[in-house]
Amino acid sequence: WDFLILFFCLPVVIFNEITKKRLLGDISCRIVPFMEVSSLGVTTFSLCALGIDRFHAATSPQASTRPIEQCQSIIAKLAVIWVGSMTLSVPEILLWQLAQDTSPVSGGVTEYCTMKPSSNLPESIYSLVLTYQNARMWWYFGCYFCLPILFTVSCQLVTRRIRSTEKKSECRGTKHGQCEGHLNCTIIALTIIYGLCTTPENVCNIVVAYMSPDMSKQTLDLLSLINQFFLFFKCSVTPVLLLCLCRPLGQAFMDCCCCCCEGCGPDTTSSESSADSKLKTEMSSSIFFDKPRETPPPLLALGTPC
């Protein structure tokens, strides 16, 4: 979703700032806020899911007896996160519309997006959209700012509390504990980046809600542009941070890129190197994601046991 934000929303915003014309017209005025709010929802619920996963890892009796989550279960969770975030962002499509104004400096017609529901909506939907507009500021602050931060902090405190009372055992070895601590640091880093990038938007929303009559349109446009800049910054930093901190994911990504660049030739050397890298990735990921360590790894296609 971060890639979609950078691929679609960023060019639209840059084009609008340069030409003062809205690319794709009224469609972009509705789709861009929808995608931006959906991005906040995806990040929020993903951080909550990661916090729950780390809590389960800390409360499991033994890392070796913890069941491996099936791919269907992971896909179902991702579908719930994405569909839920997009569903909660549907009011943004009905809230925004394209407006035109004459510039006092150049005298030309400028296009901008305004937060005003269309009067052509049915009365019931129109009242719901107005209710959402009135509660939008506190909904942003409570769901997309307080929820992920408080959820992550609570899960981390409970996890540290549980681990501090546990005695050292074989299943909680040094290497396994380091990997779990590394995962917790990754989640904390993602939460810090998200909190820093969403704080200006929430502050601006509160300021605009109580001081908008005293602020000029240029000031409001500048604040909106700053908020979008922080959102684009978050979308740019988050994947890089995740690939750098999550070693198995970063290694798998680099192996995939190298495989695509080299063409995946059928020669023996490349097949052996890819098999070795696959084995290393599987071994590291088995520790990283709390897979059973007592079970020997499966036989590869080399014909000899690992």
Look at residue 267 and tell me if it is in a domain.
Answer: no
Look at residue 91 and tell me if it is in a domain.
Answer: yes
Model confidence pLDDT, tens digit, residues 91-119: 989 888 888 777 666 667 777 788 888 87
The domain of 245 spans: 1-60+69-167+176-257
Look at residue 265 and tell me if it is in a domain.
Answer: no
The total number of structural domains in the chain stands at 1
Quickly tell me which residue has 């009011």 as its tokens. Answer: 91
pLDDT at 283 over 50: no
| Token code pair at residue 41 | 């929802």
Amino acid 43: pLDDT: 92
pLDDT at 147 over 80: yes
Amino acid 34: pLDDT: 92
Q: Sign of dihedral through CA atoms 192, 199, 33, 6?
A: negative
Look at residue 266 and tell me if it is in a domain.
Answer: no
Percent of the chain exceeding pLDDT 70 equals 74
Look at residue 99 and tell me if it is in a domain.
Answer: yes
Amino acid 276: pLDDT: 53
Quickly tell me which residue has 């899911």 as its tokens. Answer: 49
pLDDT at 16 over 60: yes
Mean pLDDT throughout 136-148?
Answer: 89
Whether this prediction's pTM lies above 0.85 is answered by no
**CATH number of domain containing 96:** 1.20.1070.10
Model confidence pLDDT, tens digit, residues 203-230: 888 887 777 666 777 777 788 888 888 9
Model confidence pLDDT, tens digit, residues 228-278: 889 899 988 888 888 887 777 777 777 777 776 665 544 444 444 555 554
Look at residue 190 and tell me if it is in a domain.
Answer: yes
pLDDT at 303 over 70: no
Question: Which run of H or of E encompasses 62?
Answer: none
225, 10 Cβ separation under 8 angstroms: no
Look at residue 199 and tell me if it is in a domain.
Answer: yes
> What is the distance of C-alpha 185 from the center of its chain?
16
Quickly tell me which residue has 């809590």 as its tokens. Answer: 55
Look at residue 140 and tell me if it is in a domain.
Answer: yes
What is the distance between the alpha carbons of residues 199 and 86, in angstroms, rounded to a whole number? 22
Mean pLDDT throughout 2-19?
Answer: 86
Can you tell me whether residue 290 is helix, strand or coil? coil
